[in-house]
Structure 1
Amino acid sequence: MSVSYFLKNKFLLPAALIVLASAASTAVSAATAAASSGWTPAVTDTWEWQLQGKVKTTVDAKVYDIDLFDNTAATIAGLKAQGRHVVCYFSAGSSEDWRPDYSKFLTIDKGNAVDGWKGENWLDTRSPNVRVIMKARLDLAVTKGCDGVEPDNVDGYTNKPGFPLTATNQLDYNRFLASEAHTRGLKVALKNDIDQVKALAPNFDFALNEQCHQYSECSVYSNFVKAGKPVFNAEYAKSYVTSKTKRDALCASSRAAQIRTLVLPLDLDASFRLSCD
């Protein structure tokens, strides 16, 4: 029945609004229940990270981090049937012109190109439209059965996004993402954003870092570890692949810090995986 019908019959409008509100509330509750898996991320959780290619489902890891758009609900259900927890990746701080919802970004939402990544532009994370799109992506994660999400590029203020973004803007946006994920029953990762780890640790369920060993930044994650929240770390340096001595030293440091470290290809295509576990 159309909205115009209720507008023409004003005496029905209050009742209609109650019905619509009730239906919306029921839908949100059902979605949250569907997403909530009872998973509490732990520092002992092992992990796998693959964002390109057909997902290899035979890796012995408790947590799989895979692309939200490129993988089907059936793939996710299959992993969960094996006892895995599935984290779904999407970029929250940049537009990617190959994504199915790319056309929903306004021209004014898009800023400078992300260095080194063709077809990708920084987003104005203050934009209400950007936030609506991110809510829809979180809804998609619920629909597909993801246990958690990995919002990427959440440190735009430290780059050259083409907007006057501040640290305060970034804290607000990252907390918005965490809150919206939790509202839907999803766990959420803090991706990089090294300078704000201490401030954001209470809002996030786990952390995902790239190259903290290479850049001597791993100590900032002590707030996560002390709270019993896992820190998943990926290293890409060739020396960790070619030198067992260097990899052994890397893994010793990682274990001492209770960080779950993988040495992976930069393309994250599962062409190799060297684990410190």
Structure 2
Amino acid sequence: MRIRPARPLPWAGLARALRHGLRRTLLALVPLLLLGPVPGCHPELVPPRAPTPWPAELAHRWQWQWQLSGPLDVAVEADVFLLDPVRTTSTETTALRARDRRLVCHVRVGTYAGTDPDATRFPTAVRGAAVAGRPGSRWLDVRQWDALRPVLADRFRLCRGKGFGAVALADADGYLHRPGFPLDFDDQLLFNRRLATLARSLDLSPGLVNDVPQVAALAPDFDFAVNEECVRLRQCAKLLPFADADKPVFHVEYAGSPDRFCVTTVGYGFASIRKDRDLDAWRESCPLL
């Protein structure tokens, strides 16, 4: 970009100015003019240590990918990637950020697996019943915030350190299962709100995974929602508090033809895809309106 003075200085006048000792001043001003910010030259980039923004005008226009297994495909044509922070490398997140992709960190907050690197940090007193369908995983007593907070905060810091700008809170619905503790609706609500606050304190945008019965109460506390199978379970309308607030709803179905379920979910304003349950790289996305 060329920068020109508003009133060109005649050569004779310039010579006189130089003779009067202004040459050093003019030379000092040139790099300042060239290096200073010029509005409109380039888009403003989100700094690495800032939470992911979700502009309201794009709320119904996102394409997304959810991959937790298999070699990560960074070339998928999606705006948003929901990934495992342990399996995903900093090299991969750097490659995605270079393409201006929004990165969401998948963190299990209400359960732990025996293979988790931090599994031994959970005190025996917070370890509950086995998670159905996931051998080696157990529920956590979300009422014991002081015991859980340090471990979960470090899980969030791992996300932040690898370049993620958002975190999706999975297994934040233990009260709907048999966790081995007498958890109720209010216990879970308090825990989830504390998690959203913790995420924000660490410069991460918080997202709620499933927990459909609490969506109406928690939508003001979270920036986006991730949902599994609201069409099959006939729960999609319950996610509207997010969509109506122009907050993204990232939705996945594991069965059925997108030609059928997309009519419902895209009409609601959701970003919908079809995936296999192992959440590898394959996906089939719904068209945007």
Same structural fold, with TM-score higher than 0.5 when normalized by the shorter chain: yes
- In 1, the alpha carbon distance for the partners of 2:139 and 2:52 equals 34
- In 2, the alpha carbon distance for the partners of 1:63 and 1:101 equals 27
Give the structure 2 partner of residue 213 of structure 1.
231
Give the structure 1 partner of residue 276 of structure 2.
265
Give the structure 2 partner of residue 61 of structure 1.
78
Q: Which residue, 261, 267, 274 being the options, matches 2:284? A: 274
Aligned partner of residue 149 in structure 1, secondary structure: strand
CA contact (8 A) 1:157 1:167 kept: yes
Instruction: Report Cα offsets for 1:174-210 as digits up to 9, x if no partner.
Output: 0011001111111111110010000000000000000
1:137 aligns with 2:151: no
Change in 2 beyond 3 A, CA 1:253/1:38: closer
Q: CA deviation at 1:224?
A: 0.5
* Higher-Rg member (1/2): 2
Give the structure 2 partner of residue 148 of structure 1.
166
The residue correspondences of 1:25-36 to structure 2 (distance < 5 A) are 34-36=48-50
- In 2, the alpha carbon distance for the partners of 1:35 and 1:164 equals 38
CA contact (8 A) 2:51 2:166 kept: no
Q: Which residue, 199, 208, 217 being the options, matches 1:181? A: 199
- In 1, the alpha carbon distance for the partners of 2:60 and 2:67 equals 20
1:191 aligns with 2:191: no
Give the partner amino acid of 2:285.
Answer: S
- In 1, the alpha carbon distance for the partners of 2:194 and 2:212 equals 18
Give the partner amino acid of 2:269.
Answer: Q
Q: CA deviation at 1:37?
A: 4.9
1:255 aligns with 2:266: yes
The residue correspondences of 1:220-259 to structure 2 (distance < 5 A) are 220-237=238-255, 239-240=256-257, 247-259=258-270
CA contact (8 A) 2:210 2:227 kept: yes
Aligned partner of residue 104 in structure 2, secondary structure: strand
- In 2, the alpha carbon distance for the partners of 1:231 and 1:36 equals 21
Give the partner amino acid of 2:94.
Answer: A
Give the partner amino acid of 2:194.
Answer: F
Q: What count of residue pairs does the alignment treat as equivalent? A: 237
- In 1, the alpha carbon distance for the partners of 2:180 and 2:140 equals 9
- In 2, the alpha carbon distance for the partners of 1:138 and 1:80 equals 18
Give the structure 2 partner of residue 118 of structure 1.
135
- In 2, the alpha carbon distance for the partners of 1:158 and 1:267 equals 23
Give the structure 2 partner of residue 204 of structure 1.
222
Q: CA deviation at 1:143?
A: 1.1
Give the structure 2 partner of residue 87 of structure 1.
104
- In 1, the alpha carbon distance for the partners of 2:61 and 2:159 equals 24
Q: Give structure 2 stretches of 5+ with no counterpart.
A: 1-46
Instruction: Report Cα offsets for 1:16-72 as digits up to 9, x if no partner.
Output: xxxxxxxxxxxxxxxxx7431552253322110001122101111100000011112
- In 1, the alpha carbon distance for the partners of 2:51 and 2:188 equals 29
TM-score by length of 1: 0.83
Percent of aligned pairs with the same residue? 37
- In 1, the alpha carbon distance for the partners of 2:233 and 2:140 equals 26
TM-score by length of 2: 0.79
- In 2, the alpha carbon distance for the partners of 1:187 and 1:37 equals 5
Give the structure 2 partner of residue 46 of structure 1.
63
- In 1, the alpha carbon distance for the partners of 2:64 and 2:271 equals 8
Instruction: Report Cα offsets for 1:119-156 as digits up to 9, x if no partner.
Output: 10000012221121111111111111101011110000
- In 1, the alpha carbon distance for the partners of 2:164 and 2:152 equals 15
Give the structure 2 partner of residue 172 of structure 1.
190
Aligned partner of residue 35 in structure 1, secondary structure: coil
